[in-house]
Amino acid sequence: MTRAATVLALATLALALSACDSKVGGTPQAAGTSSSSAPTTKPSGATGDNPFGDMKPCTTLDQALNGQGYPASVPTTADAARSCTTEKKTGDDSIRVSLSLHAGQTINENIADPSKASTGTVNDRPAVQEREPIGAKGQCSVGMEVKPKSRALVAVTLGVGTTDQACTDVNDISTKVEPLLPK
């Protein structure tokens, strides 16, 4: 199968899985139901407004990417307590994957360009996919709802790949992260 055919097949599958089809309304603002394999209880340490409790983003990301050739994830420089990232080389390209656990932020917050965002689901969990969330080509993110009023944000950035490929990749990875999230 050619690369173009593979990309097309994966894009079709990702679209079917995420069902992102409607635009997100609103304006950008400052930061301020699930699959059967998902955990059925809150993580230990979960409290009122923080459903994540002592859940570790690096452990969760590593578990979701297990067996895919990624090195162990590391805390991000900007938000080490809530976010982790990992990167692997793929031929002439690289793929960077990040996971952030945002207690108190909804899936509709911090949408830089609402015209590039669409709502849908990941394994029946409400989600928003945003193309080029910081204006960079080859980047895509998916925010998944975690109640109360919280989200898990998965982002993919490709070194030289297209935004379409980044969205295909982030949709695939999101389906692996979602079952690891609190209900």
Looking at the structure of the chain, the number of domains it has is: 1
Query: Is there a contact between 97 and 173 (Cβ–Cβ < 8 Å)?
Result: yes
What is the 8-class DSSP label of residue 12? H
Task: Write down the number of H helices and E strands in the chain.
Answer: 3, 8
Domain that holds residue 19: 3-180
Q: What is the pTM of this model?
A: 0.75
Q: At residue 16, does pLDDT exceed 50?
A: no
% residues pLDDT > 90 (the chain)? 63
Q: Report residue 47's pLDDT band, with 50, 70 and 90 as the boundaries.
A: low
Q: For the chain, what is the largest distance between any 2 Cα atoms, rounded to a whole number of angstroms?
A: 50
Q: Given this model, what pLDDT does residue 129 score?
A: 97
Would you call 75 helix, strand, or coil by DSSP?
A: strand
Query: For residues 137 and 159, what is the distance between their CA atoms, to the nearest angstrom?
Result: 9
pLDDT in tens, 107-151: 999 898 999 999 999 999 999 999 999 888 999 999 999 988 999
Query: Is there a contact between 170 and 154 (Cβ–Cβ < 8 Å)?
Result: yes
Q: Given this model, what pLDDT does residue 48 score?
A: 60
